[in-house]
Amino acid sequence: MVTARYLEDYAVGQIFGSGRLRVEAQRIKSFAAEFDPQPFHLDETLAGDSIFRGLAASGWHTAAMTMRLLVDGDLKPAGGIIGTGFDEFGWPHPVRPGDELHIESEVLDVRPSRSRPDQGLIRCGRRPSTSTRRSFKSRSVTFSCRANPASNSLRPRWFNRPGCSSQRCEF
């Protein structure tokens, strides 16, 4: 069981993993029926004649499954997994029934919020692997994170220097 981490607990270069989630054909179809009702997400035969050449999960289904991996995974920012945005986002490879999704996030940047002294931002990149290559690509995603209420709120301006966390840098 991993407990939540405060902003001060993150440092550039840390890597956080997840469990694995197997993609099921029936859930591909039922998700698509509600949110993305197109032949290549609904029916194997029709999908075989499409650009995907076989049943493929809706990109939003893939994104949602990845969110589940993140929530259950090791990243655990205090306040919850709250993404503020991606700087690029796409789906380079179809996700198929039987695929196993797994993600690894690498911390690229940690910085305090300019407007909220009790909050900060953690920017993460996705580490490539066989399974993540299949799902979606993003240059980076930024999460909000609570600062430790016990720490000094006057953070040094070089807090987000590469390789530097508040534990390891001199205040």
* Contacting positions for a second copy (CB under 8 A): 31, 34-40, 50-51, 58-61, 63-65, 67-68, 71, 79-91, 137, 144
CB of 128 to a second copy, least distance (A): 17
Distance from C-alpha of 17 to C-alpha of 69, rounded to nearest angstrom: 9
Amino acid code (one letter) for 21: L
CB of 54 to a second copy, least distance (A): 14
CB of 115 to a second copy, least distance (A): 13
Cα radius of gyration (the chain):
19
Rank residues 4 and 15 by Cβ distance to a second copy and give the closer one. Answer: 4
DSSP 33-48: HHH---HHHH-HHHHH
Rank residues 14 and 38 by Cβ distance to a second copy and give the closer one. Answer: 38
Rank residues 11 and 122 by Cβ distance to a second copy and give the closer one. Answer: 122
Distance from C-alpha of 54 to C-alpha of 31, rounded to nearest angstrom: 17
CB of 45 to a second copy, least distance (A): 16
Rank residues 13 and 85 by Cβ distance to a second copy and give the closer one. Answer: 85
DSSP 92-150: -S---TT-EE---EEEEEEEE-SS-TTEEEEEEEEPP-HHHHHS-B-S-EEEEEEPPTT
